[in-house]
Amino acid sequence: MTPAPAFGDAVAGCLLGGAVGDALGAVVEFDSLDDIRRRYGPAGLVDFPTGGGRITDDTQMTLFTAEGLMRARRRFDARRIDHATDQLWSAYRRWLATQGEGKDGDDGGGGDGGGGLVEEPVLRHRRAPGHTCLSALVGNEPGFVDLPVNNSKGCGGVMRVAPVGLVARRPSGLGIASAALTHGHPSGYLAAGATADIIGRLRAGQGLRPAAEAAMEALGAWDGHEETTAALRGALSLAESDPVPTPEAVARLGEGWVAEEALAIAVYCALTGDTFEAAVRAAVNHSGDSDSTGAVTGNLLGAAGGRSVVPGDWIAALAERAVVERVAEELRACFDPSSGSSR
């Protein structure tokens, strides 16, 4: 175990780290590695373009995950009702409204109405949202592990799950349930559970490799875990054989469009990058889902090291910095262990 950052520091590091990774990756999402190198040189994209960076649906949905968890916390405090997944579903339906697909006041049946992030102008932008998330949320009925809404294993559950890992007592279980709301394939929700599990362990001071190994072991109890387990095992093995991250090494793990690949790429880059910048650059410079792999890599490193590991100039370049910082502070205040409110 290594000294863990203070809770609020881990929350800020995780959310800001994920946001800058998302925004950097968004610059080259959908581009092939050859195109990236032609445009930016052999090292690929190394910094934000002039004018800064903008988050995508990855960070938007991460912030709505945080809001859903906070509403669930307050609901529990007021009425001793613990329906976190209901509140997450409601939060994602509010996010849907920001994409022009729903109604602003629609709470998805969770009972807490609109307001909050849905009223933030900087979040009311459509930034290449995932088809699976949109179609599942438009469909009005949440999915469950035992009653899947589709057979998708896209990375939409993984990319948004970081706040669960930061605050839940059983992050794996809630991470799985939160992803199953929109993604019905076992790899789609088990990879999200593993991501939340790893982030929870990092926040507690465990190293990334033992955290990933423990999450991988826990996956063995679930039906359909084989793809996610194999992807994590591949990431850990690759980190030993190729300890300097390169696009060619990342490509051996996939492109990150599906959940287990996005998690594997993030774990590999976070393990092998000798700085936050190096890890995130490795996570975005490849022919794949660069914003999602960059976001999850930033989540992992920020949770482990706190805000100080996230480059200050990257935070300053983030167009939506203020709302990310505000949500991080609200999440800290809602779940701060020192106040006895963590659960």
Q: Give all domains of the chain, ordered by start, each with its CATH number.
A: 7-337 (1.10.4080.10)
Q: Give the chain's length.
A: 343
Letter string b/e over residues 284-319, b meaning 16 or more CB atoms within 10 A of that residue's CB: bbbbbbbbbbbbbbbbbbbbbbbbebbbeebbebbb
Residue ranges in the chain modelled with pLDDT below 50? 104-105, 107-111, 340-343
Q: If DSSP codes are grouped into helix, strand and coil, which group holds residue 260?
A: helix
> Do residues 45 and 27 lie in contact, with contact meaning Cβ atoms separated by under 8 Å?
yes
Distances (CA, A) of 186 to 203, 257, 260: 26, 15, 10
Q: Which residues pair with 318 in a beta bridge?
A: 53
How far is Cα of residue 38 from the mean position of the Cα atoms in its chain?
29
Q: If DSSP codes are grouped into helix, strand and coil, which group holds residue 267?
A: helix
Identify the pLDDT of residue 127.
81
What is the tens place of the pLDDT at every residue in 118-142?
Answer: 999 888 888 878 899 999 999 879 9
Identify the pLDDT of residue 109.
42
What is the tens place of the pLDDT at every residue in 131-174?
Answer: 999 999 998 799 999 999 999 999 999 999 999 999 999 999 99
Identify the pLDDT of residue 340.
44
- Amino acid code (one letter) for 301: L
Identify the pLDDT of residue 78.
73
**Which has the closest alpha carbon to 29: 299, 293, 268, 317?**
293
Q: CA–CA separation, 277 vs 314, rounded Å?
A: 9
Identify the pLDDT of residue 255.
97
Q: Which residues pair with 154 in a beta bridge?
A: 258
pLDDT, averaged across the chain: 92
